[in-house]
């Protein structure tokens, strides 16, 4: 067992023991199992999949960092949400708004970077919903 903490500036989203966790990093998705070598890595926007026995939990995560010490790991993320907190239609609308904002802010480096971060977050949220749906074989109901 691994002890995992998933923390955002607003809340501790998850704290407990798990069998494994898959995390998106710049070098690809990594899966951390008990007795993993110590590691510190960047977390990129995407889906986190936690497994305990046959149970799977999905979370959408934005940028952050992960620290692994072999018996525990801590993920500190700008934002993170459980898959059941996500609404696909609202996310698709936010994604469109972010894409429009990127077009408007093309000449404004700071505004463009902010719009890109928003778009990355919304794409990660959509990916999480779709990944969860494909695993649970829930029928498509929207966008």
pTM, to two decimals? 0.74
Q: What is the mean pLDDT of residues 78-92?
A: 81
Instruction: Check whether 13 has a pLDDT greater than 80.
Output: yes
Query: Which has the closest alpha carbon to 2: 26, 24, 23?
Result: 23
Residue 84 pLDDT grade (very low, low, confident, very high; cuts 50, 70, 90)? confident
Q: Is 138 helix (H, G, I), strand (E, B) or coil?
A: coil
Instruction: Check whether 134 has a pLDDT greater than 80.
Output: no
Residue 137 pLDDT grade (very low, low, confident, very high; cuts 50, 70, 90)? low
Q: What is the mean pLDDT of residues 79-97?
A: 80
């Amino acid at each position: 067992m691994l002890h995992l903490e998933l923390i955002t500036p607003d809340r501790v989203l998850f704290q407990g023991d798990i069998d494994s966790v898959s995390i998106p990093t710049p070098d690809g998705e990594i899966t951390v199992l008990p007795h993993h070598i110590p590691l510190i890595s960047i977390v990129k926007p995407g889906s986190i999949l936690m497994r305990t026995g046959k149970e799977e939990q999905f979370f959408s995560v934005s940028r952050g960092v992960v620290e692994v010490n072999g018996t525990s790991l801590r993920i500190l993320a700008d934002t993170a949400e459980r898959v059941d907190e996500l609404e696909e239609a609202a996310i698709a609308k936010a994604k469109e708004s972010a894409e429009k904002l990127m077009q408007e802010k093309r000449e404004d480096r700071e505004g463009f970077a902010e719009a890109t971060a928003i778009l990355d977050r919304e794409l990660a949220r959509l990916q999480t919903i779709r990944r969860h749906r494909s695993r649970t074989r829930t029928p498509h109901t929207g966008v």
